[in-house]
Structure 1
Amino acid sequence: MKHNLLVIGATGQTGGDTAELLLQRGHRVRALVRRVDERSERLAGLGAQTVEGDVLHLGSLAEATKGIDALYFTYPILPGLMDATANVALASEENGVQAIVNMSQVSARRDFTRARDVGHYARALGYSPRTLTRAAVAAAGVGAKEFIDRRVVLEGKRLLAHGDEPVAGIGARLGFLDTSNFVKYFVQRTGTTPTTFRSRYRPARAAR
């Protein structure tokens, strides 16, 4: 089933990756951006509806949530977090948003290198694993475990395509102390080995 989804913070790394994933899944994505720039234009080119607004401004947020089934919310651990969270809750209640995925940037950007189990993230966000899985399905069309695994694989692909680090080093950076476990994990989720994936982007470095 396709949903109308709002991604707040869609021009950031975490929000941008999520918006792209949702679009790939065939959902209708609205991206709340603070200003139009190259990042927002790229999302629009991929099929997202971009809306200018600020999560700290309740009026613009209320407008952005109209007609939305579920939203993805990310905000840095900085002053303004509590106000932003309250605004999201108020706007969502006003417009009948069915689900909110509150993905802390601390968890999304740091913890995935050392934890891949749903329970870890559920505890960090104050939810039960079942609730987190329901929210992930509602917002992204996949369960929480699948969402986490895709985030790990995405980072692995980024490091392989754009860096010089050996496969063993990338695996260790993503929390795999045994290189063979990283290779197996990557193959199961992409259908190819890390070395083969890298060769498509960096032929001269395929032997690494």
Structure 2
Amino acid sequence: MELLGSPASPFVRKCLVVLAETGQDDVIFTEVATTPMDTAAAAAAANPLGKIPSLIRDGGPTLYDSRVITRFLDHRAQAGLYPETRLWETLTLEATAEGIMDAAVTLVYEKRFRPEEFWYQPWLDAQWTKVTRALDALESRWMSHLHGPLDMGQIAVACALGYLDFRHGANDWRKGRDGLAAWYEAFAARPSMQGTVQPAA
């Protein structure tokens, strides 16, 4: 199997962390440079939406969307990252992390691909408000889950926070969120996280 993606993408990083955590070293990672404005041929061939990550399988159709891929990889390894006893909580936590990633990536794309005269600051502010609301929810409602047994919600949150450091470090997401910051510091030390740190911007 072959995973297509960019190491800078938090969605791709989620998949790479799962591969590392579950010991699936038989999946080849192929780096693909693609953007919403200039879709790489390999990305379009794997996913009609042209998005990454995509997982090309030998015995079935290509899978895309990080949540589909991580669910497949977890099932393949029987790793229990989507535990039945707390499945809905895990899925909700993963969705919260994905929302942070979506808003954070959107902010990057807005300034990278639109001329400055077309930037709309209220809309940019609204995207960051989504991020801060989600971070506040993690701090106030999810710390018990985050400190529990490893699951996909934790991996997704860690990848989302790592992306905030990578692309939005000046916004200081840790301020006023001491519990979340301490949890992330410990989680980020895991070998799977250390081995998938995004390249320098």
Same fold (TM over 0.5): no
Q: TM-score with structure 1 length normalisation?
A: 0.34
More strand by share: 1
Larger Rg: 1
